[in-house]
Amino acid sequence: MDQERLTIVVAAFNEADSLPALQPRIAAVLDALARDGVEGQVLYVDDGSRDATWQVMQQLAAGDRRVALLRLSRNFGKELALTAGLDRIDEGAALILDADGQDPPELIPQFVDRWREGYDDVHGTRLEREGEGWLKRATAHAFYRVIGMLSKTPIPADTGDFRLLSPRALHALQQLRERHRFMKGLFGWVGYNRIAIPYHRDPRAAGRSKFNFWRLWNLALEGITSFSTAPLRLATYLGLLTALVAFLYGVVIIVKALFWGDPVAGWPTMMSVILFLGGVQLIALGVIGEYLGRLYDEAKQRPLYLVDSWQPARPARSAHALDEGDRVQRLRGSAVD
């Protein structure tokens, strides 16, 4: 029998309070999956936490053989922590889960069902965002609309990282080695058969959100610059527009000077024009700079992350032993026949 495998990847940064509550829920799901013929394991990635997260993880691993641990050398951010986790999976499907219990693990069997139906990218779509202020909701809403308009890659709205990737989608994702990783966009880029599962996103179980407005703003910039060059084109159009206005205004000045002479005046107009053009130029330069900076980062070719330690899961029966058992079973069966 071909055993289906699933690895649940959980990136955690300072989640010592949340993990002990999460692990029993995951373990229950893994038990249910095992009864359903899916060999599941969970991989916790410690993204350079400064609290007791790593110690907590080790306790969890000691208590359950299906727990694998990966620790990064420092805090690399959620996107890279997830990448590090996904890179470690060389067999079967992957499922990404937040450490704070906001994505209910109890839904995982539904994701697996969809995978079995032939979908490669099963993603959870939030029906509402509990425990988040109206400002965060409004800005998130605006962001998904803007990126939807700017980017040619389909990026579904209100979809986080809670998703299952089939082996081939995972393999495709592992080949995307860009440094500036806007994961939602990368998932979209991979394509294949995609389907959404609507779900209610719970409030955080413990601790605080790591994403304040500044980080979210940067994430939004990352998303737009990674998946669209529209801002560069916007700079061109803005330049064309100001050139056109400047030309028309120049005609007005010349005509005025021809008919009414050229007394020295116009200090206010001159100042406003100079300041306006200066501002437009700086904005355009800034936009170019955003892209140039990212190009610079890519050009350095540094590794995406560094691993501090790696502790694989210790399945009770290895895949090999299982195959052996199967064969013995089959031999016995044929002997009886």
Interface positions with ligand UDP (CB under 6 A) = 11-13, 15, 47, 75, 77-78, 81, 98-100, 102, 209-211
Output the smallest distance, CB 61 to ligand UDP, in A. Answer: 17
Alpha helices in 64-206 (DSSP H): 78-87, 108-116, 134-150, 167-174, 183-190
Residue 67's nearest CA partner among 80, 76, 54 is 54
Residues written for the chain: 337
Residue 61's nearest CA partner among 89, 76, 41, 87 is 41
13 binds, among ligand UDP, Mg ion, none (CB under 5 to 8 A by kind): ligand UDP
129 binds, among Mg ion, ligand UDP, none (CB under 5 to 8 A by kind): none
**Cα–Cα distance, 101 to 43 (Å, whole number):** 15
Please enumerate in sequence order all residues whose Cβ is within 8 A of that of 156, keeping only pairs 6 or more positions apart, or say none: 123, 125, 188, 194, 196
Based on CB atoms, which residue is closest to Mg ion, 58 or 102?
102
In degrees, rounded to 5, the angle at the alpha carbon of residue 305 between the alpha carbons of residues 301 and 308 is 140
Based on CB atoms, which residue is closest to ligand UDP, 93 or 219?
219
Output the smallest distance, CB 54 to Mg ion, in A. Answer: 20
Based on CB atoms, which residue is closest to ligand UDP, 47 or 121?
47
| Site for Mg ion, rule CB under 5 A | 100, 102
**Cα–Cα distance, 253 to 267 (Å, whole number):** 14
Based on CB atoms, which residue is closest to Mg ion, 40 or 101?
101
79 binds, among ligand UDP, Mg ion, none (CB under 5 to 8 A by kind): none
Based on CB atoms, which residue is closest to Mg ion, 11 or 284?
11
210 binds, among ligand UDP, Mg ion, none (CB under 5 to 8 A by kind): ligand UDP
Output the smallest distance, CB 76 to ligand UDP, in A. Answer: 7
Based on CB atoms, which residue is closest to ligand UDP, 51 or 262?
51
Which amino acid, residue 54?
W
**CB–CB of 197/122 below 8 Å?**
yes
C-beta neighbour count of 278 within 10 angstroms: 10
Quote the tokens at residue 22: 């999460």
54 binds, among ligand UDP, Mg ion, none (CB under 5 to 8 A by kind): none
3 binds, among ligand UDP, Mg ion, none (CB under 5 to 8 A by kind): none
Output the smallest distance, CB 290 to ligand UDP, in A. Answer: 21
Output the smallest distance, CB 163 to ligand UDP, in A. Answer: 14
Quote the tokens at residue 133: 């202020």
Output the smallest distance, CB 143 to ligand UDP, in A. Answer: 12
17 binds, among Mg ion, ligand UDP, none (CB under 5 to 8 A by kind): none
Based on CB atoms, which residue is closest to ligand UDP, 192 or 211?
211
E strand or H helix that includes residue 67: strand 67-72
Based on CB atoms, which residue is closest to ligand UDP, 142 or 331?
142
Output the smallest distance, CB 28 to Mg ion, in A. Answer: 21
**CB–CB of 165/195 below 8 Å?**
no
3-class DSSP assignment, residue 263: coil
114 binds, among Mg ion, ligand UDP, none (CB under 5 to 8 A by kind): none
Alpha carbon separation from 40 to 67, 138, 185, 292, 326 (Å, rounded): 10, 37, 27, 43, 19
